Amino acid sequence: MGKASLTISEVRDMMLAAADKIIESEPILTDADRALGDGDHGVGMERGMTAVKEALAGKDFPSAGKVFVAVGTAMMSSMGGASGAIFGTLFRSGGKAVGEGDAFTAKELAALLREGTDQVMARGGAKPGDKTMVDALVPAADKAAEVATLPLDEALAAVAEAAAAGRDASEGMIATMGRAKTLGENSLGKPDAGAVSVSIIVAAMRDYAAA
Ligand code: ADP
Ligand code: MG
């Protein structure tokens, strides 16, 4: 049976599961960033998610939003590089938008992704089509708004599909931001590494809510 909503400690456990999934996926992320960037994204995400595990494991949080803020703070302070600041912004801004409630439903998921994505775009300057993680985040946030009244497990299934489709769509884009920019048309045919990370995180959230 899937979960229609999560408690605060379930939100924590969901993000611990996402951290494990990213750590496990380090070789995939390394390969993706090696193709288009400098190859450090896998190791950076592994370091960030190791810090997330230290910040979350065995801890109690006063609200669902504060769990995501802690995820963002841990990533921002441990990773460095473009993606440390960007994932930090995503989860810290998104977590604040989730608010101080003790239930995490599809409505809070929509708030997390919308505010987090908007702040990533405002601060980083990337727009849809620039071949960055924004190309997985925007479809995920749009889908989350559409399914905000569904049970969380069903909403996350739809949102994970949208994030994966965004990751796939990034293969057909020419990079205009970050390190991949210098490749121009040679950036075609491969997915953006940050978009791969986003799709892995959302898929892990989906799997947690589905169980
Ligand atoms: P660095 O580029 O410093 O080596 P990483 O390799 O960890 O950092 O992360 C690269 C990823 O960061 C890219 O695949 C892309 O998704 C994301 N990225 C880079 N710049 C931006 C930006 N301005 N806005 C959104 N995402 C970005
Ligand atoms: Mg890199």
Residue 87: inside a domain: yes
The mean pLDDT value of the chain amounts to 97
> 165 near 136, Cβ under 8 Å?
no
Residue 1: inside a domain: no
> 210 near 153, Cβ under 8 Å?
yes
Sequence-separated (6 or more) residues with CB below 8 Å from residue 11: 61, 64, 67, 68, 104
Residue with tokens 């921002």: 76
List, for residues 88-107, the tens digit of each pLDDT value. Answer: 999 999 999 999 999 999 99
Residue 26: inside a domain: yes
C-beta atoms surrounding 122 within 10 Å = 10
Q: Is the CB of 76 under 6 A from ligand 1?
A: no
List, for residues 132-170, the tens digit of each pLDDT value. Answer: 999 999 999 999 999 999 999 999 999 999 999 999 999
Mean pLDDT across 69-74: 98
List, for residues 184-197, the tens digit of each pLDDT value. Answer: 898 899 999 999 99
Q: What is the CATH number of the domain that holds 132?
A: 1.25.40.340
Task: Please give the Cα distance from 204 to 147 (Å, whole number).
Answer: 18
**pTM of the predicted model, to two decimals?**
0.98
142 burial type by CB count under 10 A (0-12 exposed, 13-18 middle, 19+ buried)? middle
- Is residue 80's pLDDT more than 90? no
Pocket test for ligand 1, best of 31, 79, 83 (most atoms within 8 A of CB): 83
CA 31 / ligand 1 centre spacing (Å): 14
Task: Please give the Cα distance from 68 to 79 (Å, whole number).
Answer: 16
Residue 22: inside a domain: yes
Provide the number of structural domains found in the chain. 1
Residue with tokens 């924590």: 12
Indicate which ligand has the atom closest to the C-alpha of 192.
1
Band (59; pLDDT cuts 50, 70, 90): very high
**What is the domain range of residue 201?**
6-210
Pocket test for ligand 1, best of 43, 91, 132, 200 (most atoms within 8 A of CB): 132
Task: Please give the Cα distance from 156 to 163 (Å, whole number).
Answer: 10
CA 82 / ligand 1 centre spacing (Å): 5
Residue 196: inside a domain: yes
Torsion over CA of 21, 167, 115 and 6, rounded to 10 degrees? -40
Residue 97: inside a domain: yes
List, for residues 4-37, the tens digit of each pLDDT value. Answer: 999 999 999 999 999 999 999 999 999 999 999 9
**Ligand 1 atom with the shortest distance to the CA of 33:** 6
Q: Is the CB of 167 under 6 A from ligand 1?
A: no
